[in-house]
Amino acid sequence: MVAIPTETVYGLAGNIYNEGAIKRIFEVKKRPLFNPLIVHVHSIEQVESITIEFPEKARKLADHFWPGAITLVLKKNEVIPDLITAGKDTVAVRIPNHPVTLDLLRILPFPLAAPSANPFNRISPTQAQHVASYFEDDVPMVLDGGPCNRGLESTIIGFKKDEPIVYRLGAISLENIEQVVGKVQVMNKKEKTPDAPGMLKKHYSPRTKTIVVDNVRQYVQQHQELQIAVLSFSDAYKSLKVKHVEILSKERDFKKAAAGLYQALHKLDDLKIDLIVAERFPMEDLGRAINDRLNRASQ
């Protein structure tokens, strides 16, 4: 088991055929065994070697976005161990778009299973240093590929009767996906979700209490007794009397904001303050995925 860089977040990776390595991933992350792992591969041929079906729209998405931040949930074949998929008949796969990890996957004679390299319920790591400080000696090696340039986990897409369903919003926006395959369904958060077992409400959390608000100025003015850090999409709050203001993108660029989100949460979490007040994003483009992560961080 070693940590590897991807363009989304760092992963804790192991040979999918090595039971010891895979068990160690669950153990080190304190991840429940019912939550399956994503399998990382270097080519569509390699995906075909571990699956039995490739719906037409899945192929369109793969052709268009891979290597990249889309994970497809496909019917698996018998070579994939149950430990990886939590006993399900599907496997989540993606070709990551990171030069170092792509090279690694091409050299290795097996795919790598890798969840995000954070302890259960903590913020995902977007730098090698985040992984090292989370796990210290428990993770023997972190392959340093620099900061992740997408900074948000992959968008996960499953299929029902060959029609795509978004299980997890992520680094590729809904708008981009719909340009390729037309209208897609997004799994309702309140629904019970046996198809996407990892979608727990609380997730990606800083230890510092975090809330998401529409009106940052008003909230801060009403809570002057607290030591607050503001996380915002614009520089409209620069003059507020708070401990710190972290601006994700002055130009209101969604991609840039997404790329810096976890990095900013890691930083604010280290400030030893009472509260992180995050500005809610517009519900469009990557704003949807960012709001999803902020909402989970605030549970």
Is 91 an interacting residue with respect to ligand TXA (CB under 6 A)?
yes
Is 9 an interacting residue with respect to ligand TXA (CB under 6 A)?
yes
Cβ proximity to ligand TXA: between 94 and 229 the closer is 94
Is 11 an interacting residue with respect to ligand TXA (CB under 6 A)?
yes
Cβ proximity to ligand TXA: between 100 and 213 the closer is 100
Residue 248 binds which entry of Mg ion, ligand TXA, none, CB below 5-8 Å type-dependent: none
Among 153, 246, 279, 285, binds ligand TXA (CB under 6 A): 153
Among 35, 176, 249, 291, binds ligand TXA (CB under 6 A): 35
Q: How far is the CB of 53 from ligand TXA (least distance, A)?
A: 13
Residue 198 binds which entry of Mg ion, ligand TXA, none, CB below 5-8 Å type-dependent: ligand TXA
Cβ proximity to Mg ion: between 11 and 67 the closer is 11
Among 51, 71, 116, 205, binds Mg ion (CB under 5 A): 116
Backbone angles phi, psi at 14, to 5 degrees: -150, 155
Is 46 an interacting residue with respect to Mg ion (CB under 5 A)?
no
Among 16, 22, 25, 36, binds ligand TXA (CB under 6 A): 36
Whole-angstrom Cα distance, residue 74 to residue 135? Answer: 31
Yes or no: say if 171 and 9 are a contact pair by the CB < 8 Å rule.
no
Tell me which stretch binds ligand TXA (CB under 6 A): 5-13, 210-218, 249-257, 269-277.
Answer: 5-13
Interface mask toward ligand TXA for 59-88; x: CB under 6 A: ------------x-x-----------x--x
β-strands 228-232, 244-247 pairing: parallel
Yes or no: say if 187 and 169 are a contact pair by the CB < 8 Å rule.
no
Q: What is the 3-state secondary structure (H, E, C) of the chain?
A: CEEECCCCCCEEEEECCCHHHHHHHHHHHCCCCCCCCEEECCCHHHHHCCECCCCHHHHHHHHHHCCCCEEEEEEECCCCCHHHHCCCCEEEEECCCCHHHHHHHHHCCCCEECCECCCCCECCCCCHHHHHHHHHHHCCCECCCCCCCCCCCCEEEEEECCEEEEEECCCCCHHHHHHHHCCCEECCCCCCCCCCCCCCCCCCECCCEEEEECCHHHHHHHCCCCCEEEEECCCCCCCCCCCEEEECCCCCCHHHHHHHHHHHHHHHHCCCCCEEEEECCCCCCCHHHHHHHHHHHCC
Tell me which stretch binds Mg ion (CB under 5 A): 74-82, 109-117, 134-142, 179-187.
Answer: 109-117
Interaction with ligand TXA in 104-143: which residues (CB under 6 A)? 114-116
Residue 232 binds which entry of Mg ion, ligand TXA, none, CB below 5-8 Å type-dependent: none
Cβ proximity to ligand TXA: between 79 and 271 the closer is 79
* Footprint of ligand TXA (CB under 6 A): 6, 8-9, 11, 35-38, 71, 73, 85, 88, 90-92, 96, 114-116, 153-154, 156, 158, 167, 195-199
